[in-house]
């Protein structure tokens, strides 16, 4: 075994699932088979999944899930359930941000994409959702003073639209080394909703190993829409989506990373005023996303609007798509030069 691997194992020891009372070697085996390797995985898995993996009843699963969370608090890797509002403010001051590559869009987001949160971009085809994701793959890798987090990326591609060539173009035009940028993006092609759920459940090791600071799901709801057709399947679809969204959110919180997801729109004929489109996925997605940004096309420009944010003003912001990925409209870019 090489030195590096030994060091990795040593770090993992305090996170081993058997450090939780009630988890023995046999259960460990079962948990591992279900992709649960560490206490972090146990804490992010949710009781239903732990029950599925171990054959425990839900009460015991809840208990072990709680114990895992408590242990993480003791280890200083997770915030306790109750913190004072003062501590919360301090913690919120520690939230870091990733520049999107467009100053206008950064301003709309209060400085960039936040860690510890899910940011959802939704809009019609060609609105720029995938382009934003590609640009973020580059900007997150920049050093902190330049707007990045010096972090790696996990890109979950459900539509087969991830393009390494486009990443190289964006990297080149932003003055980054394209090979270095590509080497820190881990891409997973998810072929159906169950596969997509499995990938998200198994993210822990990947995040730690590659110092991931950004997880992208492009797009999050498409498979669910395609697989669950008709009214009769709606309840099951929403339940599965709910579990998926909460796994994503817990991952963002436990690892202090940014999660960005994209979403399509569907027409809403019952809305008489404003834009007759709304995001897919219903309340489950709407309530779990921390920030929702609606994108529209306006000629060669794109207009972004923050929707339903707890503290951002509702206003529009303009950006464009070009060889740098997303960028500020050309007049503004040239003015700054």
Work out whether the CA dihedral 106, 215, 124, 291 comes out positive or negative. negative
Q: Quote the tokens at residue 132.
A: 């934003």
User: Token pair 């639209």 is at which residue?
Assistant: 161
By beta-carbon proximity to ligand ATP, the closer residue of 52 and 159 is 159
By beta-carbon proximity to ligand ATP, the closer residue of 102 and 130 is 130
Identify each DSSP E strand in the chain by its residue range: 97-98, 113-114, 117-123, 152-157, 185-189, 212-218, 258-263, 265-267, 277-279, 291-298, 301-307, 316-322, 325-327
By beta-carbon proximity to ligand ATP, the closer residue of 46 and 123 is 123
Site for Mg ion in 134-173 (CB under 5 A): 161
288 binds Mg ion (CB under 5 A): no
Cβ atoms of residues 184 and 111 within 8 Å: no
Residue 276 interacting entry, from Mg ion, ligand ATP, none, C-beta within 5 to 8 Å by type: none
Element (DSSP H or E) covering residue 163 = none
130 binds Mg ion (CB under 5 A): yes
By beta-carbon proximity to Mg ion, the closer residue of 47 and 325 is 325
131 binds Mg ion (CB under 5 A): no
Interaction site with ligand ATP (CB under 6 A): 123, 125-131, 169, 264, 321-323
Question: Cβ of residue 161: shortest distance to Mg ion, in angstroms?
Answer: 5
Number of residues that bind Mg ion (CB under 5 A): 3
Taking the C-alpha atoms of residue 242 and residue 64, their distance in angstroms, rounded to an integer, is 22
Cβ neighbours of residue 327 under 8 Å, at least 6 residues apart? 101, 102, 319, 320, 321, 333
By beta-carbon proximity to ligand ATP, the closer residue of 125 and 272 is 125
When CB distances to Mg ion are compared, the closest residue is 130
Binding site residues, Mg ion, CB under 5 A: 129-130, 161
């Amino acid at each position: 075994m090489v030195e590096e691997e030994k060091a990795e194992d040593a770090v993992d020891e305090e996170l081993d699932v058997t450090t939780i009372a009630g988890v023995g070697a046999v259960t460990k085996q079962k948990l591992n088979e279900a992709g649960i390797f560490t206490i972090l995985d146990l804490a992010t898995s949710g009781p239903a999944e732990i029950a599925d993996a171990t054959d425990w009843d839900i009460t015991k699963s809840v208990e072990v899930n709680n114990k895992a969370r408590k242990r993480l608090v003791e280890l200083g890797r997770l915030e306790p359930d109750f913190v004072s509002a003062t501590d919360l403010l301090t913690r919120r001051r520690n939230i870091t941000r990733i520049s999107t590559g467009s100053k206008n869009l950064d301003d709309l987001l209060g400085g960039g994409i936040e860690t510890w949160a899910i940011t959802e971009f939704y809009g019609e085809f060609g609105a720029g959702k995938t382009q934003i994701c590609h640009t973020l793959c580059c900007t997150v890798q920049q050093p902190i003073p330049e707007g990045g987090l010096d972090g790696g990326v996990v890109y979950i591609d459900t539509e087969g639209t991830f393009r390494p060539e486009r990443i190289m173009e964006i990297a080149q035009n932003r003055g980054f080394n394209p090979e270095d940028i590509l080497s820190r993006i881990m891409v997973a092609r998810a072929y159906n909703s169950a596969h997509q759920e499995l990938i998200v459940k198994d993210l822990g090791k990947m995040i730690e190993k590659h110092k991931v600071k950004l997880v992208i799901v492009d797009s999050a709801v498409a498979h669910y829409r395609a697989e669950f057709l008709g009214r009769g399947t709606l309840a099951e679809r929403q339940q599965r989506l709910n579990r998926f969204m909460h796994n994503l959110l817990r991952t963002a919180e436990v690892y202090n990373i940014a999660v960005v997801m994209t979403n399509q729109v569907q027409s809403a004929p019952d809305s008489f005023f404003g834009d007759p489109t709304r995001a897919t996925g219903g309340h489950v997605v709407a309530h779990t996303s921390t920030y929702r940004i609606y994108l529209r096309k306006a000629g060669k420009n794109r207009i972004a609007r923050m929707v339903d944010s707890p503290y951002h003003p509702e206003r529009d912001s303009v950006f464009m798509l070009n060889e740098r990925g997303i960028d500020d409209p050309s007049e503004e870019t040239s003015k700054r030069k």
